[in-house]
Amino acid sequence: MPGGGDTQDLKLEGRLASLRRRYPSIDDLERRARRRIPHFAYEFIQGGAGDESGLTRNRAALRGIEVVPRYGMDVSKVDTTVELFGRRYAAPIGISPIGFDGLMWPGATQRFARAAQASNIPYLVGTLATATIEKVAEWAPDVTWFQLYPLPADDHRVSFDLAARAEAAGAKVLVATLDVPVRVKRPRDLRNGFVIPFRMSPKHVLDALLAVPWLFALAREGMPRFANIERYSGSDGDAGPRFVQQHVGGGFTWEALARVRDKWPRPMLVKGVMHPDDAERAMQLGMDGVIVSNHGGRQFDAAPASIDVLPHIARTVGKRGTVMLDSGVTSGVDMLRAIACGAQGTFAGRAFMLGLAALGDHGATHVARAFVEEFGSALGQSGITDVATARRAPVRHPTAWTKADFERWNEWVGDDQTSGALRAASAA
């Protein structure tokens, strides 16, 4: 007779197998999520900046990439694992942070952390998560990474303290966010009254009453809060949201990043890099790599698709640091496309959030397993048996930015220093 723990494990495996049959794609999850969470929460997950062209550009660019399969290969043993900063993970996929995640699905931070630990993939928990970095590191001691938002007030006092807390908690990697220099307009959020501090209007209450699964989760978890911030803002009422409204943002300068780098003793990345010169500068500051990202299309709608600038950034700094991709990844095939274009790993945010919204507490684990399984299938179907070989796969990327694309702008504005640095880096 199996023990109680074994019985629970078998039930979970059966539940996850059933979910894979019923919801095999992110599109399936999206349709179910729309019915289970309040409209304002769904719109926040799905929305982007401005006219949302950046958001759609991410998906279109990834879908346009072709990888030529090679048949007749022995793919009876496919290895999806990848080594990142001294640890081997199940696959080159991680969970990206989504600010105020607990309002999208109450308890989201904990569910992400536990799913990442169980699936052995990185969890990049954010500054604006709804549980503290200390609690996340307890739930996911082997896979916790920390994304640091800039808090410029008082010479980044809070930024440095958050980094120190992440170090003490045991976070494996620190990721500094570069791409939030100013606040942006997200029309969906404005139309829905989704602003900070967030206040429930009669319309929001009606939306919530129609989302019964979300209400049950809220009753269990309580109102979400900016847990990492409460040490600095206090925990009364709107103190946390007011602190976020007043202090979060403004962007990291390169000088501030250099100071964080000097104090952080473990691997450190810069997230939000879209130009090879910025990647080069990050490496010169002693960073261990970069995450190429346009913030999921949520910051600047005129930005190129992340995947389109990835190849030249990888050629510029990929031999000296780890280059990863965030924004637009929704499947194992997308993971393969990114690896073939030069990434050493990928992150996804919306897909995991939609998993929770659609399926509740097991949703993040369902999505993690789907990514790993789909990636293994994509490797095998391509005649590839491991991640290292995938980086040499024959690929056609029609919308990729070239070295000439980047240099043309520098020459037009007469930026001799920038274009010179790019040429030197590209020649290295």
DSSP class per residue in 238-258: THHHHHHHHHS-S---HHHHH
Q: Is 146 left (phi over 0), alpha (psi -120 to 50) or beta?
A: beta
Residues 6+ apart with CB under 8 A from 350: 45, 46, 98, 296, 330
∠ CA 387-332-175 to the nearest 5 degrees?
A: 70
Residues 6+ apart with CB under 8 A from 62: 305, 307, 328, 329, 334, 337, 338
Identity at 265, one-letter amino acid code? P
How many CB atoms are closer than 10 A to CB 428? Answer: 10
Closest to 89 (Cα-Cα) out of 113, 52, 116: 116
Residues 6+ apart with CB under 8 A from 259: 156, 160
> 295 an active-site residue?
yes
DSSP class per residue in 311-350: HHHHHHHTTTSEEEEESS--SHHHHHHHHHTT-SEEEESH
Residue keyed to tokens 């082997």: 142
Radius of gyration of the chain (CA): 21
Rounded CA separation 364/93 (Å): 13
Which of 295, 312, 366, 397 is catalytic? The answer is 295
Taking each helix axis from N to C terminus, what angle separates 350-359 and 363-381, rounded to the nearest 10 degrees?
A: 130
Residues 315 and 426: beta-carbon distance below 8 Å: yes
Which phi and psi angles does 347 have, rounded to 5°?
Answer: -130, 150
Rounded CA separation 418/407 (Å): 9
What are the catalytic residues? 295
